Structures are given as C-alpha cells and as structure tokens.
Amino acid sequence: MRLFIAIEIPASVKKELAVAQGRLRVAGVDASWSRAEGMHLTLKFLGEVTDQKVPEIMSSLQKAAEGIGPLGLSVSGIGAFPNPKNARVVWIGLAGDIEKLTRLQVAVENAMVLLNIAREERKFTPHLTLGRIKYIRSSDRWLKTLEEIKDISLPGFEVTSVSLMKSELKPSGAVYTEMGRAELQ
C-alpha cells in the first residue's frame, strides 16, 4: 500500500481553501485543482509499504513526535512554482510555528531513514498545493488575480497530532485513509 505521513488540516480551513481556489479557477488558467477536502500537509512520502511494516512505522512516528508539543499554524500567502509568470504549481503558504514544524519534519525523516525508507533529498518547504497549472490562457488575468489574493490569510489552527495516511488512486481521484495517529507531546 502507498503511505505518507501528514498533518491534517481542519475542515473549517479546507472550506476557506476551496473559496481561494474558486477565485483562481476563473483566473484564465487550465489546471488540475487539488480537492480541498483532501488537502493535508505532507511531512514524508513513504511510497509502497507492506502491511507488516505499519506497526514499526507507527512506533517510530510516535517517538519522532515526542518532545515537539502542539504547533500553532495558519495558512497565508499564495504563490506559484517556479514563478507566477511560468506557474506550474500554485500554492498557499503556512505561517506560525514553522521552526517547530521543521523540527518535527526532520524528526520524522530521521525516524523513517532508520526503517530503511529513503531520505527525501529536497528541502522541506511547508505549503499546500492548490493546483497544478497546465496552461495559462490569459497571463494578464492570471497575474492580476494572484496579485489580488497574494496576501490572503486564513484562520489559524492548532496541530496536536501527525497521521500515517494511506493513498489509493481511483478514477475519481486519490482517496486518503488514516492508518494511525501519533500525538505531539
């Protein structure tokens, strides 16, 4: 099964993310948009993992979560990778306890490496992917919309746990199921 470790985003924030996506959907681009109800902050993608390895992963995840404590995060600022004019990915940023979040991500990464799961080589950049841009039909409208909402700020939320998630790819889109949860202590 295909697994990853993530922080769940509260439903109230997902609802606001859908509103922001709504503005971008009519901004002159063709894109595949992330489903707001499935949005999460991925800390570590594990790939294909056997059922037998799940208890070991959960034990290591709980140890990684110890000593971190709850995090206060908020969602703010919209941007695009690699840049707005040549956007391929449109994202919304995270603010708040980013230093603690980064310590958590490093602890999770190190714990999974001890289980022989390959280390992620890319630097961790906390963000939520709103969509993947296929084609910019109207550059002026796209850039104007990004400029109008670039300073968006959504309500903050507290993170008290991190989840082991299963991802199943279906014709209707990815389905995510929580396999276990480690409390941030």
pLDDT tens digits for 48-61? 999 999 999 999 99
Q: Report residue 183's pLDDT band, with 50, 70 and 90 as the boundaries.
A: very high
- Mean pLDDT of the chain, nearest integer: 93
The answer for residues whose C-beta is within 8 angstroms of residue 98's C-beta and 6 or more apart is 126
For residue 153, give the DSSP letter: B
Give pTM, 2 decimals.
0.89
The answer on pLDDT for 93 being more than 80 is: yes
Collapsing DSSP to helix, strand or coil, 10 comes out as coil
For 142-165, the pLDDT digits (tens) are 999 999 999 998 889 999 999 999
Active site amino acids: 40, 127
Bridge partners for 138 per DSSP: none
